[in-house]
Amino acid sequence: MDEKAFAATDDYTKPKYYALVEFPYPSGQGLHVGHPRPYTALDIVARKRRLQGYNVLYPMGWDAFGLPTENYAIKNHIHPKIVTKNNVARFKNQLQSLGYSFDWDREINTTDPNYYHWTQWIFLKLYKAGLAYKSEMPVNWCTSCKVGLANEEVVNGVCERCGSPVVRKMKSQWMLKITEYADKLIDGLDSVDYVEKVKVSQRNWIGRSNGAEVDFSIAGADDSFASIQHARILYLV
């Protein structure tokens, strides 16, 4: 690591290769097996590209804002900044023991004011463009964690993290108008180099819908083609 053997350089004579994995949330438990799996796969690719003469950027960082940290900090009366710092140190130590070829010079942490300064900047841009707005919406509310949960975080009607009952609750919350880009996202899938199953899952997730057309014949009316009364309904879903 001291030798900076895996640091990307500003050498523009070499072809560039950017390998990016999802940054982990540094929990108190340390790495789980789901972390090394994608890191190892991409580490192999990054090393191969370096051997092929590419200037490789393979960064690592910490997606460190999180409810478990907040709850742990409240319960144990430790400042969340200290909890996060300790968890990051543990994760980093574990990743380095595994010998990954990350460029540690580019390490980022989402709880670092120098980093979230830019997420706030982007949010204001979205807000001014009318793409971030407040709305009263029903949310999945964990009765114990006291936060709204994503649908994916509700498993069999209970909170995935703590197992407490989840109720529907009306809350005023910030929304991002991602639907504004649904068509663009779907059309863009035709021109990217993704494996087909990822494209299919993206299409299903975004879910373009142009509605449906249904013809109803009226009961009691003559059966001949000319007399069928068409009640045509176009609905959008």
Is residue 162 close enough to count as binding Zn ion by CB under 5 A?
yes
Which residues within the stretch 17-76 sit at the binding site for Zn ion (CB under 5 A)? Answer: none
Three-state secondary-structure class, residue 50: helix
Between residues 144 and 202, which has the closer beta carbon with respect to Zn ion?
144
| Residue 173 Cβ vs Zn ion, minimum distance, rounded to whole Å | 17
Cα–Cα distance, 141 to 143 (Å, whole number)? 6
Under the binding rule (CB under 5 A), the answer on residue 170 touching Zn ion is: no
CB 174 within 8 A of CB 132: yes
Does 144 bind Zn ion (CB under 5 A)? Our answer is yes
158 binds Zn ion, rule: CB under 5 A: no
To Zn ion, the closest distance from the beta carbon of 80 in angstroms equals: 17
CB of 124 to Zn ion, least distance (A): 31
Burial 71-85 (b: 16+ CB within 10 A, else e): bbbeeeeeebeebbe
> Considering only 114-122, 159-167, 200-208, 228-236, which stretch makes contact with Zn ion by CB under 5 A?
159-167
For residue 233, give the 3-state DSSP assignment: strand
DSSP-assigned letters across all residues of 161-202? TT--BEEEEEEEEEEE-GGGGHHHHHHHGGGS---HHHHHHH
159 binds Zn ion (CB under 5 A): yes
Residue nearest to Zn ion (CB): 159
Cβ(140)–Cβ(165) under 8 Å?
Answer: no
166 sits near Zn ion (criterion: CB under 5 A): no
Task: Output the smallest distance, CB 142 to Zn ion, in A.
Answer: 3
Query: Contact at 8 Å (CB) between 54 and 9?
Result: no
Point out which residues bind Zn ion (CB under 5 A).
142, 144-145, 159, 161-162, 164
